[in-house]
Structure 1
Amino acid sequence: MSAPIEISPSSLREGRWHEYAVRFALGGAATVFAGLVSSWYGASIGGLFLALPAIFCASATLIEKHEIRRMREAGLDGKRRGQQAAALDAAGAALGALGMLAFAGVFWLLVERSVAGAFASASLAWLAVSVAAWFVRRKARSCRSSPAAERAGPR
């Protein structure tokens, strides 16, 4: 059984100031770029660029580096563990993207009735879809790693 989801602020201490500066700069640059595209081509096109994965790329690289460094401090290579940690972050980003897609769809459908109602409903849709996607992924992983799946062998 997996451990419950928890918040660990201790990971913030693992980063160096310049790593946070890179994240901040890339995130700000992606946001400014999306704003410029939005002003030139309209909000519909600009919104697509707001989802630009610049922040994800920086964070995945930093996560991998932190894991490699942590494992090397323990006397291990750590490259595989770093890749696994970055892959887990990528899976989380994909699940979050599904939630954001639900948010956008619900907001678009309801915004003309009430902005506040659309925002509240879209937020609930984001939460429901993100949590459901996480549970589906967790269930799929546990089915793949079950003893029956191991006995069946590769397909």
Structure 2
Amino acid sequence: MIVQFKPSALRQTRWYEYLVRFLLGGAMTVVAGLIAARFGPVIGGLFLAFPAIFPASATLIEKHVRERKEKAGLPGARRGKEAAALDAAGATLGSFGLAAFGLVIWLMIVRSPVWALVFAAASWLAVAVLGWRVRRWL
């Protein structure tokens, strides 16, 4: 599958699907705040890094792909699950990039906040792209 941006896909999403994403994202943030209050900001920050809208996005991707295939007269359940799985793989690779970002910030923030941000962003990008390329080779 080729990664691409399709602005027309924004029109396919119904208003209540945005609401679901907003509510799940907010709920994940509240849970991270409660964990931080109980166990401290370091542990809470780990949970805040969880992609808050991922659960809603994965279910909506599956639903949209399944509906599009069924509208064309094809069985869409398998393709919907495959599309959601691909999104999950991308989220995982993005999480590795996020870990690289956090590590660089942790190592450099005291000495040079500006350079820490620059190198952390570059690390995130490099790890995410490298992960995607390695995944394609496998």
Provide the TM-score with structure 1 as the length reference: 0.82
Report the counterpart of residue 127 of structure 1 in structure 2. 125
CA distance in 2, matches of 1:55, 1:121: 26
Q: CA RMSD in A?
A: 1.5
| Greater CA drift, 121-130 or 33-42 | 33-42
CA distance in 1, matches of 2:120, 2:51: 22
Report the counterpart of residue 72 of structure 2 in structure 1. 74
| Alignment: residue pair count | 138
Report the counterpart of residue 115 of structure 1 in structure 2. 113
CA distance in 2, matches of 1:19, 1:119: 33
Give the CA deviation at 1:121. 0.9
Say if 2:29 and 2:52, in contact at 8 Å, map to a contact too. Answer: no
Q: Which runs of 5+ in 1 are unaligned?
A: 141-155
CA distance in 2, matches of 1:117, 1:133: 24
Report the counterpart of residue 144 of structure 1 in structure 2. none
TM-aligned CA distance change 1:127 to 1:53, over 3 Å: closer
CA distance in 2, matches of 1:13, 1:37: 36
Give the CA deviation at 1:34. 1.4
Report the counterpart of residue 56 of structure 2 in structure 1. 58
Report the counterpart of residue 38 of structure 1 in structure 2. 36
Counterpart amino acid of residue 123 in structure 1: A
Query: What's the % identity of the aligned pairs?
Result: 57
Provide the TM-score with structure 2 as the length reference: 0.92
Counterpart secondary structure, 2:53: helix
Structure exhibiting the larger radius of gyration computed from Cα positions: 1
Using CA pairs under 8 Å that are at least 6 residues apart, name the structure with larger relative contact order, 1 or 2: 2
Deviations along 1:104-131, whole A, 9 cap, x unmatched?
1111000111222211111110000000
